[in-house]
A and B are shown apart, each in its own frame.
Chain A
Amino acid sequence: MTEHIDSAKTYVWVFAALIGLTVLTTAVSFVDLGNFSVVAALAIAVAKMLLVALFFMHVRRSTQLTRLVLVGALVWLGILLAMTLTDFATRGTGGMAGGVAESAGGLLH
């Protein structure tokens, strides 16, 4: 096997970064950033995901095929989210009927 074994030091540094980001995201949530708070929280979550995937899950040393499959999965997840939101995020705009929350006959009122 020509497998590369990372040093324990690398893992501890990644771990420290993950803890730092957790503290940061918790602290930032108490600051009123308006709509930007969603962006901040998700950006930090994506950074943490990349750290875990690249280092702990060894994606940075994985084969091209594994990476291709992973990127493909993220594209499909993106399609699921984006295509659904083209409907729900645009209701009540451009002269279309209003969204459920605004109309009197909401699902759960």
Chain B
Amino acid sequence: MAGHPQTETLALREQFNTEAQQKDAATLGMWIFLITEIMFFGGLFLAYTVYRRWYADTFAVASSSLNVYLGAANTVVLLCSSLTMVLAVRAAQLGKRRALVMFLILTLVLGGVFLGVKAYEWNQKFVEHHIPGPNFHFEGAAQQGPAQLFFSLYFAMTGLHALHMVIGAGLLLMLIVQAGRGRYTAAYMTPVDVVGLYWHFVDIIWIFLFPLLYLIDRHLGR
């Protein structure tokens, strides 16, 4: 066993031989968590695929009723937040505390904008009676059942995604407080790194949700 003559630090805990080993372990652990999330969202993507095959026409009409410009704008907002997040990680790697706090705050603000736009879109669905349930009415489709199914999947998928964004916002708040106190240095910034992975993962989920929910049948529904 390699002994540690120096005292234990955040960057090198007792159970690891080197700082690089500790960092690799943290990264791998986070990826394994994200993989459980891939399987979890994978079930919803699978359900979407199966029902879209069965009720292709109704899904096309229902999908075309979503506001594609809001969806695209929100995609851009989320991609901006991924850029600020990766720049925050970079600032942490360089040990630039001020830049780190600034980029984390920017990421949080952009995440808030995304959720705001999403809330507006959901509210529109309430106004239009496109919420699955007793008051559901979708004017464009002969069959209300499959249309409800589309909107059930829409709310389940975007809702679960938004829940992940809210959790991400909580994590960012924690990072901002800790970074402000100077807890993270160039030698130890693992929490910034793994929250970055989480944030980008949530971005990737949206990268697939946007075309599947808003775009695929756009040319049919006009």
- Residues of A whose CB lies within 8 Å of any CB of B are 1-3, 5-6, 8, 11-12, 15, 18-19, 22-23, 25-26, 29-33, 37-38, 41-42, 44-45, 48-49, 52-53, 55-57, 62-63, 65-66, 69-70, 73, 76-77, 80-81, 84-85, 88-89, 99-101, 106-109
Contact = CB atoms under 8 A, between A and B. Distances in A.
Contacts of A108: 55, 143, 145-146, 148-149
A41 B24 contact: no
B54 A6 contact: no
A25 B143 CA distance: 29
A77 to B, nearest CB: 5
Q: Is the interface of A mostly helix, strand, loop or mixed?
A: helix
Interface in B56-109: 56, 68, 72, 75-76, 79-80, 82-83, 85-87, 90, 93-94
A81 B219 contact: no
A56 B86 contact: yes
Interface residues on B, range: 35 or more
B49 interface: yes
Contact of B54 (A1, A22, A99): A99
B10 interface: no
A31 to B, nearest CB: 6
A88 B39 contact: no
B76 A1 contact: no
Contacts of A42: 211
A-B residue pairs, 6 tightest by C-beta: A108-B145, A41-B211, A29-B215, A73-B35, A29-B218, A32-B219
Contact of A63 (B24, B38, B82, B148): B24
Given A52-B207, A77-B39, 5 more contacts: A5-B93, A11-B86, A29-B216, A88-B53, A108-B148
B160 interface: no
B46 A84 contact: yes
Contacts of A38: 216
Contacts of A31: 219
